[in-house]
Structure 1
Amino acid sequence: MTVEQRQKKGYLFRAVSIVIAFLVITAVWGADTGGGLQEGKAGEKAVTIDFDGVDIVVFIKFISELTGKNFVIDSAVRGNVTVISPTRITPQEAYMVFESVLDVHGYAAVPAGNIIKIIPAAQTRGQNVETRLRESAVSPSDKVVTRIVPLSYANADEIKKILDPLVSKGSIIVSYPPAGMLVVTDLLSNIQRLLKIIEAVDVQGMGEQITVVPLTYGSAAPMAKSISGLFQDTSRKTKRDATPEPIIKVIADERTNSLIVLASEADTAKIRELIKLLDREPVRGEGDVRVYYLQNAKAEDMAKVLMAIPVAPAGKEQEKGKTPILSKEVQIVADKSTNSLVITAGKDDWQVLEEVIRKLDITRRMVYIEALLMEVSVAKDFELGVEWRGAEKTGSIDGRQIVTFGASTSQPSAFPGVNTGTQSVTLPLGFSLGVLGEGISIGGFLFPNIGAVVRAYQKDSDVHILSTPQIMTTDNEDAEIQVGKNVPYLTRQDTSQSGIDYSHYEYKDVGVTLQITPQINQDRFVRLKIMQEVSQVIKEESSVGLPTTLKRMAKTTVIVKDGHTIVIGGLIDDTMNSGVYRVPCLGGIPGLGNFFRTESSNTGKTNLFVFLTPHIIEYVSEADGLYREKKEQIDKVKEGSIKMYERKGGK
């Protein structure tokens, strides 16, 4: 048989097949409807499809006539079709059977406008197949569609590995990890089967693993924060408007300096590579440990101030517009030997600390204080030209009001020496506090400074100069001067079982104590916190040697201008003096001597005065000037070239 004969035979076979198919359909319709079509439930005609070894092209033409659809058949479409369908179906159901027949033979129907292309299924991935984002209400079919499947928890690459063996021949699955989704092109019926599998495995925690990564150079806490922030943008949502769930969790274990990573296998590998790049040895001189050498402040005090700065709460970001605060990782250690601070902090924290240190580590001003403690007999005409500070007004001098402590009346005449005409005032017997000017006026004499007062009264029997201390201290630092002796006090006497007596003693300081704390303001006024105490042993009250002490103490806080003098007075002491006067030789004769001797006793009162003059030393030139002034005063006094004092009015 020749080729032409075989081709003619093939054409004849196809023609006969088509005729037989139509005869079968016509016979079915005629048998059921009497030569017409049977109506379905929805008014559609119903047919019975029953083919045995029919050419697939003939079957396609049959479906085209039945449904009214236009088909373009690829040249690769070949084969015979066998369909057994004893029940009647509608044309729509017949088309679904048609799609299943194509799928069985490895072909697919792809819509393209008003026509449908019949092509091999392997070529459908590049064709215009129907794309669905969500599940629709249609029934499963063997129609080829492209479905976009968003994932909630699982990794897209991991799910693709699971589904690849389950897709139809020629179908394709594409994963897109950044968006957490899959793109599947397959039969609709198979896609719906795959969706059930995805729903079962796309649950929280699926595919995650825990890994511990130790660090060599880096710190666990900041590195965990950096990595978590880097992967935070890859978070996904469980549903619309839901809170994003991080797909990666990195926790710092500061005790072992390690990172605990909870992530998928793929993400864990990425994190390990990132840690390998970050965990490097820092360049010398660029680490987080710095040493700051202080010039003026004490390292211990500065460290306490810096550590008191609030730290940022863990897990919270610093709000914009607020004063920057330190992170929790900042550490500050004071080195006393070098007066320096060893600071462990990041770049941002270091900038804050450096600015604070620079403002606090400044040169502090000093105060040079001249003091005079003197006792004056109350009988002494000891008038002071002073402006008294207190609660009650007692008069005025040169237009300035005079007030006093302990006054029972507000009349100036109640105090001796208060005379607005003569401009003099005498200290009352109560506690008094006054402010003198740059010169000191006592008893009608004007003294240039405290040193002149000391030299003027050092030989006066009614004036007892206790101490003339001079001290220099730093602003806001305590200064103390103590002159006296350590006196033993018998506290307890006991007798042991063996009959030996023993005594217990305590030693207490007796003498003059002056404590001063200066505080300088911007206008060169000095706030002085003063504690002055004078104690002395007066007599022994018993045979066991228990001493009795007299203590006079004053505590106060005053404000005085630089170079001016203040005085504290009114600390009264009552003393009793007794004496025996007798005629030489005769006064010592027993019995008869009483006629030649006299015993007398008298009571005296002394008033304790404390003079204080502060001098602010802010610059080196002021210290040099004070030194020259004191030296000149001493030299002139030794030479006798200046008067110790001069009367008011220049006399």
Structure 2
Amino acid sequence: KQHQVKQRYVTIDFNDVDINLFIKYISELTGKNFVVDRAVKGKVTILSPTRISVKDAYRVFESVLEVHGYTTVSSGLIVKIVPDVEARSKGIPTIRQGGTVYPRDKMVTQLIHLKHASPEQVKKMLAPLVSRTSVVIASPDSGMLIITDVQSNIKRLLGIIKAIDVPSIGEELLVLPLQHASAVNLAKSVDQLFRQQVRRLRRREIIKIIPYERTNSLIVFASKVNVRKIRKLITRLDVEVPKGTGKIKVYYLQNANAEELVKVLTNLPAESKGSNKQKGRAPLISQNVKIMADKETNSLIIIAPRDEYSVIENVIKKLDVPRRMVYMEALIMEVHVNKSFNIGVQWGGGGNFADKTGQVYSGFSGNPAPNQYDVLKGLQQSPAVLPAGFSFGILKQGVKIGNVYFPNLGAVLQAYKNDSDVNIIATPQILTTDNQKAEIKVGENVPYITSKNTTNSQQDYTNYEYKDVATTLDITPQINQSDLVRLKIGVEVIKLKNPNDISGHPTTFKRSAHTTVVVHNNETVVIGGMIGQDTSVGEYKVPLLGDIPILGWLFKSHTNSKEKTNLFIFITPHIVENSAELAGMYYEKRKNIMQHVQPGASNIPADFFYKKPDPENSMALSDIGFSELRKKEYGKARQYFEESLAIDPDNPYALLNMGVVLEHEGNREQAAAMYRKVLKVRAAQPAGKGEAAAGRGRGLRKMAEDNLKRLHLPVQPRSGPRSSATPAPRPAP
């Protein structure tokens, strides 16, 4: 029966009910016998919307009695309900040292054996922390402290006594009530300050500063000298701060956008469903925190307490990081449908086939992909045939058209720019940051006649409206942690059906595609299968005779021709990690232009071809080379170091890193010559803090000496040329 009572759940919800009726209800619920003192009177209000167990209901009952100044005293099978003041002389339970104290509101007597502290001093310290009906008795002879109070408060007092009952010589206890400052915050600051002082002086002193939030007081336990110092410091710190000062901070962002970051910080999910979200506040921190953005200086204005500001600052530092960039090359071209155009790519098509539904993948060219329904076998046997409908594919490395391999899109452009069956519409290239939309639009404004007046008025007029006839490409790249690039692609090509039409009513046709793909860095996405039709109108006539009215038709003719074309879009994303890689891309593009454009061209600046030697250019090339060296691209790194040394032969970073490359190639003597030259120019700059720099904090001279010493040690036979030399990045600015 007792087990069944424990498992029962009830709802306790009373509004202004007589306390004696509530006692009777608990008696019937728990089966306990209560003897109620005549002094027990009053009304009870309990709000409990959820069901609770009978055991918890009895704890609520004890809490209600404690709030009204009463308590329970057990006596055999009877429970007495008496005022708190009388409970001291009744048979309340006594808990000895080490006994378990539960967080209940039942009156008990706790016996505490003090090991080090004086009972009188502890009693004096605890006096303001107990209720008026509680009793604290000090027994100096036995070193004991006897406390009569509710269990929940005794549990708190035991924590305080444990902290101050430690070995000491001449320590004092002091309770300092605060008027303005927060006990918790001030305790942390003062305690940290004095602990650092004790640690610096290497003293074995005990200093304890405990905040008591209930009365906003500090409990100080330290030597007499330190107590005086702490009291003086707290008196100076516990002052009223003028409103609006001390809580306003300005954080200047280096990379993130202030307005966007405010949205993130102020729209964090609340801790509970019932919390109210307010504009400009971060619910997970507190309602007193406000964050605003200043667009002009790209900074955040934060109003928050210092302890909460540190939390916000840590979040901002994690979000305010440099964003990687993506350089995208695109090629938009039209191919005549009669042109044999076989691209080495895995093409994908989907739809319903026969009585089976679902997505089906197959290879239209290159290596055939597996086909679970085997319905595209005929197409697989003819790899030169491209899909007639919209499709896309991904090229792992370079572009293969027919049997010709092209390393990049620039090679495709160069090969087909003079092919009459291939029309290069646009070759856009654009650089954008991660997760930011980039758009390129190339075209012209074509006039459309909207109205025309040909009446008998004195002056005829025609109204025109200009519309864009253009090729538009918009891409939004998103880089994940594995260097996969998610591309959200939108392509729109608008063309005139008849470019030679002079009627003022031109007709256009539009081809567009929108898709999202995920590719690796430097892979090429191919979108194709968008077939359009070009219409051209031509007139052939005999000069002069063809212009004769009516009879002229005998000497002229009109021709209409239609040609179908297939539109292909190639897109290659390149992830740009840092400024060195961006500079390297610039030098590569510049080199390509110099190969195809002769010096002296009117539309190319002269200094584009003839750059004056500049040490900064040498350093930039050295940085690019080190970036390639970290990726173990030794061939590319060597080219940049050679260009850097051509500009500045004494560049110590290029010399040292060139030695690392030569050592990797097995040219030990040439590598040693580079290291000796570093010593000769006496470059003692500190090494950078790049992830690949093993010798952090060492000078270039030291690194060169270490590499030379290692070269003169016996070398174990190896399977191939390897290098354990330490590279040197330039220090970050």
TM-score w.r.t. length of structure 1: 0.49
Higher relative contact order (CA 8 A, sep 6+): 1
Kindly indicate which of the two structures has a greater share of residues assigned to strand. 1
TM-score of the superposition, structure 2-length normalised? 0.44
